[in-house]
Every structure is written in structure tokens, then in C-alpha cells.
Amino acid sequence: MNETVPETAQPLLHVSTPPHIRQNESVPTIMLSVIIALVPTLAASAVFFGGRALALTLVCAGTAVGTEALLCLLLRKPQSVADLSAAVSGLLLACTLPPGLPFWMAAVGGVFAIAVVKMAFGGLGHNPVNPALAARAFLMVSFPSAMSAFSAPAHGTLFGLERGLDGVSAATPLVYFKNAMASGNFHPLDLQDAIGSLVLGNVGGCLGATSGLAILAGAVFLLYRGIIRFRTPFAFIGSVFLLSWIFNGTGDIFSTEAFIVPLYQVFGGGIMLGAFFLAADPVSTPMTPFGRLFFGVGCGLITFLIRKFGAYPDGVCWAILLMNFCVPILDRCGRPRRFGERKQRA
Amino acid sequence: MRVLAAEIENDGRDLAAETIGVEKEWNEVSPLELVRKISACGIVGMGGAGIPAHLKLSPPADKPIDVFIVNCTECEPLVSADFVIVKHHAGEILTGARIIQKILGAKKTLVAADSAARESVAALSAALKDRKFRDLSVVALRPKYPQSAEKILVKTLTKREVPSCGRAADVGCVVHNAATVRAIAQAVLAGTPLYQRVLTTGGPCVASPKNLLVRIGTPARDVLERCGADMKRATKVIMGGPMRGNAQADLDTPVIKTTYGVFAYDTLVPGVKRYDCIGCGRCARACPMRLFPSYLMRFVDKKKTADVREWGVVDCIECGSCAYVCPAKINLVHFMKLGKYRLGGPDAGHAACEGLA
């Protein structure tokens, strides 16, 4: 072509596939919403566990964000800190730690979550498991005693101490429950008074997992924003509730006691945090409706089994991590029938 | 020889051709003659796909048609060309519907309109008072993109699900959009070929967006400048609508029979910062065909042909809903097109289906 370009040449036009308009929602706005949803939980932890809880949260978030920034620099990748996903991972990791954990251990967790679980697999969207949970699991096997040393909230109920069962090491509701069951000295009605403190979160436990009420407030916001969906969390919580109601240890499923046990199980430990924030994390969970349902039920079942028969008092972390690995198979089995899809050919 | 557009020399007189005219009342003409006439006038589907109208009007003998649907719902957001046609020419459209009903021998004719387009619905209802239209009925539907897509509309109105790779005729339905039905009426009643159409202009570059009656072959530049568009600022020009239209590289690209809109943008896609897929599943929730664009994108990217086929890329109607909602701003439609292409070569959609059967 030897045409001369006229002086009033049109600027070059951009050509791309449709659609040419996009919704405003983007990855950072989603992550920001998750951070906003965590505010009530973090506030509750500050109230119950004091300023140290906030300091621990800052350490986790800071190391997570710092690790991501540094790795992007070293690997010559585009800087991805601004998508806020590292900050979310850091905050979620903090929520799963005991408030009294030494800062350096929390920092190790933050680095592990981002460097090993997230960036080594290719960054946001490529991690097979939830970075915060994997880091918690890593800390649990690395520092078992520090990770299970729970201090009491400033003015709260310290389970076990009141009951004089097992001293300071039996500080969380679930540890108390497990010991009571093991010793055969189990009276569900003893737990009745504790339910209020449990829902409020004024008990010993992980920094962001104790206050069911605060987590629910955040969850309502996320559900309203359409960022998490009903199916997984409710399948998770529902199956734990159902299983611990049926196998409540009293031999009767219609007595008052029989309903206290599942309530106690659902609000004690990490189920609320796990169900609404960790099992609803989009990257490491299924996409198909059927897959999401089974993901939730699977988490509930494994949590129940670990709590009832396992060595750990709580099994939420392991349950979600195990189910994370089942995602590809769940989605493959759970693909719904397409519009106009014919029945399977023989 | 392959040509993108024909070049027609203008004699400058703007007169009707001598061949235009009609000899007989349409209800005295046989269906076959009517179809021949429609074919001779060059009527094609004007809602986007551009399937020649006479093909849809000659269904195979083993696929009897019992429902004919006039699609007066708008094919895309921001486009209002069909609203205007329905508002001003409701009677003509209903006459066209009767002609088509006769050709197809359909038992039932439904006129689907958007309930939000009150003036169009009112115009249709007023025209329907005439006794000769007593066989027709109007259905007002809540507007919801991509309701106007053939498979979706058939499902909404008749509860029948067009099979994968199939056509509406497979479930006894034929759908024509309002503009096409009007063109058919004009072809049959007056012998007018399809030489002009109504289209919508819009976009941030266009000072006074409007609906225009435009001759086929008018360059995009002329259409846009007529509406006060500042073409110096334009960075993206789209033939069609913002959801499904094609971005043009050349402003002299002519309006063709399927061009229902011309849009000019001075920005690229807003929020173009791209991320990797976070697996949120919004694309799957938005997909009217119940596909999983996110998985399909990964399979296409990794060239996993068997998975691309199994997860049904051929069923994609390219409505763009998945990419519209995607928070990672991935060009999902691009991957769907690529997937179809890889399955079936350049003649994507169809050949891919053949491979499936």
C-alpha cells in the first residue's frame, strides 16, 4: 500500500472482542469488601483480647503484603499488592491465630502464606488451597504448643478454669467439651449458660473466630454484596449442626440438652469464621452449584469427625484444606446440565 | 472471490426500481410464491445473525412449525431501533406477522415485547384491536438481557428448550425480529427490497444519540458525524451494540443489513486493568446457557480439546454477559470464540456441532 496518509488522519481505532462495556465490580473492590466485612470481627477481638490482638493482626497483614511486594519485585512481575488480596490473606491468617502467639511466629505464617502457598503457584487465582489456612496449618505443626496456648479474654469466661477441669491448657470451649466427653463427666446443661458468651465471643479461642455475632455481621454484608453465596457456608454449618445434634452424646435427640450440644458446636471453635470467610473464598472452592453444596457438606463432615474422634479439639482448618484439594473433582461431577444439552449418549 | 463489501456506483437520481410493485393481494398468493418474493427482496434477519429470511420460512417437512414469534424485544441494552419501529409501524409489523403465519401454517403467533417499552406495547395493543389481527397475541416480558436471543425467547414463551446445536425449528418455533417482519411486510405488500434500516447511534463520542433510518452501505463515519460525533476523539467504533457489536478498524466500514447500532467510544473498555481469574463464578451465574466460561477459558487456554467440547463451548451464544460481570475483566467471549474456532475451524459454530453429532 503506498497511499499517503492525509494530514487529518484519524487516530487509530482500538479493536477488541465484545462486550465493550463492563461492570464496575473488580478484584480490588471485592477484596476491599472482604476487608470491610472483617472489621466487626477485628473490633470484637480488640475488645475481648486487647491491643495485642490488633498488633498481631497488623504483623500478619504487614508481612503478607510486604512478602507479596518483595516477591513481585524480585520475580520482575507486575506489582500486585494493589489488588488487596495479600492484605485479605494476612487478616484472615491473623483471625485464625491465638491472640497470645509470639509476633515472630505470626510473621513466619504471613510469609509462608504468600510466598509458598500463593506466589509459588503463580499468584492470585492460582493457589490450590487457601493461603491463610495453609499458613495456619503450617504454624500448627511447627509450633504446636504455642498454637494451642489460649489466653482468656480480659473479662471473659475461661472455660475449664471455672469448672476446675484441666487448668489453663483447657481454655477454649472445644477443649473443655472434648475433655468433658473424654472424662465421662459430660452434662450438656452445664453448657447452657455459656452459649451467650459463645455467641458474643467473650471466650478463649482464636483471635477472629470467637465472636459468632461479629462474623455474622460481616457475613450479612458479604451475602448482600453477592461476594459470598449461601450454599457453601450454610451446608457447612448445617451439616455440623445436624451431625452434632444426632450424635449429641446424651442418647436422646429431642431433649433440651440435645439442642445445646449442636449450638455449642457451631458457635464454639472456628466454624463461623471458616464457613463464611474461608470456605467461601472463591479461588480455592468449587464453582458449580452442586460442587459448592458438597464442598460445604464435606467440610462439615470432616470437622465433625475430627472434633469427635480426632486428636485436635477443632477440625475446621483441616476440613477446609482437605476439601480444597477435592475442588476439581467436585466441579467435574457437579457440572449442571447445559441449556439444551441432550441426555448422556450411551 | 471474497469481498467484504460491494461497491455500488450511485446514479444520483434516487428513484425506485422499475421492478418494484405487486400484482396481487398477498392472501391470494401461495406460500411458496411469497417466500420467493421475500428471497428476491433480499430480506435477512436484522437482529444480528443475518440468516436469510426465506431459509427460516422454509422449514424442512419433518419439522412442522406450530408457533411463530415476532421478537419486538430489544436485542441489546442501549439499542432502541426496534422500539422505534414497533412504536411507529405496529400495524405493518402485525400484517407481516399474518403473512408469515400463513407461510408457516403456524397455529399460534406470539408478539413478544419488553414491558418497559410502554409506547411500543401500547402501539401493539392499539393495532391489535383490528379484527384481522385476532389470531395474534402480545406478550409483555420483563426486560432482561439476553432475553432477545432466539433460544432464550423460545424458552421463555413456550417452555421449549432448543437442543444444543439446534435451531428454534427443532422445537416447532420460528422467531423473526420486528425489523425483519416489517421488511417482509414491505417486500410482500409493496415489493420493496431491503435497502435501508433503522439503527441506533450512541456512545460517549456522540453528541446527540438518535435512531436513524439509514441506507445500507452508508459508512460508519457519515452515520456518526450526522449525530454530532467528534471523530477525532473516537478510539473505538462499534457496529452493533455495546454487548455484542464488532469493533471496527476503519471508519469507512459500511452499515450492512444486520447493523442495528453504531457506537463511538472515546475511552477503551472502562476499568481495563486485568487480573487473573479468581474463580468467583459470576460468569457462570450470568450465563443464560448454564456454561462455565471460567473453566472453558482455562481449557481453551491449555488446549484441552476434549474438555472444551464436554463443557459445551458450542452452546455459547456470545451474549457477552460473562465478560460484562467478570471482576477480573477477562475477555471471556474471546476465549469462547477461540474455543469454537479450534473445535471447528473458520466455520466455527456449525462445524463444531457437526463434530459433536
User: How do the residues of chain A divide into helix, strand and coil, expressed in percent and rounded to 5?
Assistant: 60, 0, 40
d(CA B135, CA A252): 66
CB-CB contact of B19 with B193 (8 Å): no
Determine the pLDDT at residue A163: 38
Q: With cut-offs at 50, 70 and 90, classify the pLDDT of residue A310.
A: confident
Q: Are strands B246-248 and B236-239 parallel, antiparallel or unpaired?
A: antiparallel
Which candidate in B290, B299, B333 is best for mutational testing of the A interface (most A CBs within 10 A)? B290
Distances (CA, A) of B237 to A80, A204, B211, B240: 32, 62, 17, 10
Share of chain A above pLDDT 90, in %: 55
B75 and chain A in contact, CB less than 8 A? no
- Please give the CATH architecture assigned to the domain spanning B26-190: 3-Layer(aba) Sandwich (3.40)
Question: What are the two backbone dihedrals, phi and then psi, of residue A280, each rounded to the nearest 5 degrees?
Answer: -105, 5
pLDDT average, residue stretch A27-39: 95
Mean pLDDT of chain A: 86
Q: With cut-offs at 50, 70 and 90, classify the pLDDT of residue A1.
A: very low
Determine the pLDDT at residue B70: 95
d(CA A147, CA A161): 19
Question: What are the two backbone dihedrals, phi and then psi, of residue B254, each rounded to the nearest 5 degrees?
Answer: -80, 155
- If one looks up domain B198-265 in CATH, what number appears? 3.10.20.600
CB contacts, 8 Å: B248 with chain A:
13, 15
Q: Residues B71, B115, B162, CA angle at the centre, nearest 5°?
A: 40
Size of interface A-B (CB pairs under 8 A): 163
Which candidate in A29, A81, A339, A345 is best for mutational testing of the B interface (most B CBs within 10 A)? A339
CB contacts, 8 Å: A340 with chain B:
151, 161-166, 289, 315
pLDDT average, residue stretch A290-314: 92
pLDDT digits (tens, 9 = 90+) for A117-135: 999 999 999 999 999 999 9
Angstroms from A14 CA to nearest CA on chain B: 5
d(CA B291, CA B284): 6
Kind and range of the H or E element at B123? helix B118-128
Give pLDDT tens digits along chain B (357 positions). Answer: 667 777 778 888 888 877 777 777 888 889 999 999 999 999 999 987 788 999 999 988 888 999 999 999 998 999 999 999 999 999 999 999 999 999 999 999 999 999 988 999 999 999 999 888 888 899 999 989 899 999 999 999 999 999 988 889 999 999 999 999 999 999 999 889 999 999 999 999 899 999 999 999 999 999 999 999 888 888 899 999 999 999 999 899 999 999 999 999 987 655 468 899 999 999 999 999 999 999 999 999 999 999 999 899 999 999 999 999 999 999 999 999 999 988 876 555 555 555 443
Task: Specify the residue for cell string 497483614.
Answer: A61
Distances (CA, A) of B86 to B56, B127, B241, B258, B271: 22, 11, 19, 17, 36
Closest by alpha carbon to B285, among B241, B227, B247, B324? Answer: B324
Which candidate in A8, A13, A30, A33 is best for mutational testing of the B interface (most B CBs within 10 A)? A13
- In this prediction the ipTM stands at 0.86
CB-CB contact of A113 with A132 (8 Å): yes
pLDDT at A225 over 50: yes
Determine the pLDDT at residue B346: 56
**Residue B12: count of CB within 10 angstroms of its CB:** 5
CB-CB contact of B267 with B204 (8 Å): yes
B208 and chain A in contact, CB less than 8 A? no
Residue range(s) of every CATH 3.10.20.600 domain in chain B: 198-265
B326 and chain A in contact, CB less than 8 A? yes
The full DSSP string for B36-105 is HHHHHTT-B-TTTT--BHHHHTS--TTS---EEEEE-S-SSTT--HHHHHHHHHHHHHHHHHHHHHHHHT
Dihedral of CA atoms A233, A219, A134, A32 in degrees, nearest 10, equals 140
Residue B119, C-alpha cell as written in the block: 409506547
CB contacts, 8 Å: A335 with chain B:
292, 311
Task: Specify the residue for cell string 475442588.
Answer: A327
Closest by alpha carbon to A244, among A268, A265, A272? Answer: A265
Question: What are the two backbone dihedrals, phi and then psi, of residue A198, each rounded to the nearest 5 degrees?
Answer: -65, -50
CB contacts, 8 Å: A15 with chain B:
236, 247-249
Q: Among B163, B325, B334, select the one facing A17 at the smallest CB separation.
A: B334
User: 3-class SS at A11?
Assistant: coil
Determine the pLDDT at residue A67: 96
The full DSSP string for B148-216 is TSHHHHHHHHH---PPTT--GGGGTEEEEEHHHHHHHHHHHHH---S-EEEEEEESTTBSS--EEEEET
d(CA B275, CA A112): 23
* pTM of structure: 0.88
Q: Are strands B211-215 and B136-141 parallel, antiparallel or unpaired?
A: unpaired
Share of chain A above pLDDT 70, in %: 87
Q: What 8-state DSSP symbol labels residue A154?
A: T
Is B323 in contact with A122 (Cβ distance < 8 A)?
no
pLDDT digits (tens, 9 = 90+) for A143-171: 998 888 876 665 555 454 443 333 334 45
CB contacts, 8 Å: A341 with chain B:
164, 312, 315
Distances (CA, A) of A198 to A178, A193, A233, A281, B22: 16, 9, 19, 25, 85
Question: What are the two backbone dihedrals, phi and then psi, of residue A49, each rounded to the nearest 5 degrees?
Answer: -115, 0
What are the start-end ranges of the E strands in chain A? none
Residue range(s) of every CATH 3.40.50.11540 domain in chain B: 26-190
Q: Which residues pair with B108 in a beta bridge?
A: B67
CB-CB contact of A98 with A270 (8 Å): no
Determine the pLDDT at residue A167: 34
Residue A278, C-alpha cell as written in the block: 474461608
